[in-house]
Amino acid sequence: MQTTGILILLIQIAFAVHALRRGYPIFWVFLIVFVPLIGCLLYIIMVLAPEFTQSRVAADGSRALRRAIDPNKALRELQQALEVSDTVANRIGLAEELARHGRFDEAIALYERSRVGIHRNDPVVLLGLSAALVENGQFDKAKEALDAYHEADPGNRTTEADLLLARTLQGLGDRETALQVYEQLLKTASGPEVKVRSAALLDSMGQTAPARTLYEEVVKDVGLGNRHSQKLNRRWVDEAKRALE
């Protein structure tokens, strides 16, 4: 028992020293010292594992865990960064995070403020603005932003931009043209979101057979994917399952 206590103490000291030397926030030291078991475990998962592996998966897992513990941390940090330095890069970073939190009006305002000088027709700004406008149901403005995006970079046909265009056209009531865009997307993008959104539009137009086929493909495909892809696509799989009931 005494040996175990000494071992835990040595681990605490090692982790605390590591955190201080690497310049990590001081709360890690308090967590390690005052909540040894949980603190050390979290430190291993969120700090040491990503350091050792340097893998994208580990980094994503660490970010997800940080967001679960403190979902507004990134938002606060980006807001502080913008207060210190009001740059286009900081505006875009905060706008992206605001959109993740569903605060689309604020995100749109920041994107629009970022359309200055050489950034007026910046594809990154225009695409982010378009996405926020679509999510906010402002389809007229979203169409204008997407038109500007394609004019600024005519050869850059991305899946994200085309999906936003299809959703915008659908929101504006032009379902036939939206369906054409979805049909083109289905030839190059096999992700579940494209299939589910295409199926929903087909269903609304009375084309239930092809819609059902797409829904079935989504449900079938998820069984072939790994656990990470299943978690990532859960929303679309659930929607497909509901539509098939």
Q: Is the pLDDT of residue 64 over 60?
A: no
Question: What pLDDT band is residue 58 in, cutting at 50, 70 and 90?
Answer: very low
Contact, 214 vs 199, CB < 8 A?
yes
For the stretch 127-154, pLDDT in tens is: 999 999 999 999 999 999 999 999 988 8
Report the distance separating Cα 208 and Cα 206, nearest Å.
6
Contact, 125 vs 112, CB < 8 A?
no
Q: Is the pLDDT of residue 4 over 90?
A: no
Domains of the chain: 2-69 (no CATH), 71-156 (1.25.40.10)
Report the distance separating Cα 75 and Cα 43, nearest Å.
22
Q: Does the predicted TM-score (pTM) go above 0.75?
A: no
Mean pLDDT of 204-225: 88
Neighbours of 18 (CB within 10 A): 17
Contact, 92 vs 83, CB < 8 A?
no
Compute CA distances 26 → 38, 39, 76, whole Å. 16, 12, 17
| Average predicted confidence (pLDDT) for the chain | 85
Compute CA distances 183 → 8, 30, 115, 214, 219, whole Å. 59, 55, 32, 12, 19
More confident residue, 237 or 3: 237
Neighbours of 132 (CB within 10 A): 27
More confident residue, 232 or 242: 242
User: Of 169, 132, 175, nearest to 147 (Cα)?
Assistant: 169
Count of H-run helices and E-run strands, the chain: 16, 0
Predicted local distance difference test score (pLDDT) of residue 204:
94
For the stretch 25-53, pLDDT in tens is: 777 887 888 877 788 888 788 777 766 65
DSSP-based three-state secondary structure for 128: helix
What is the 8-class DSSP label of residue 101?
Answer: T
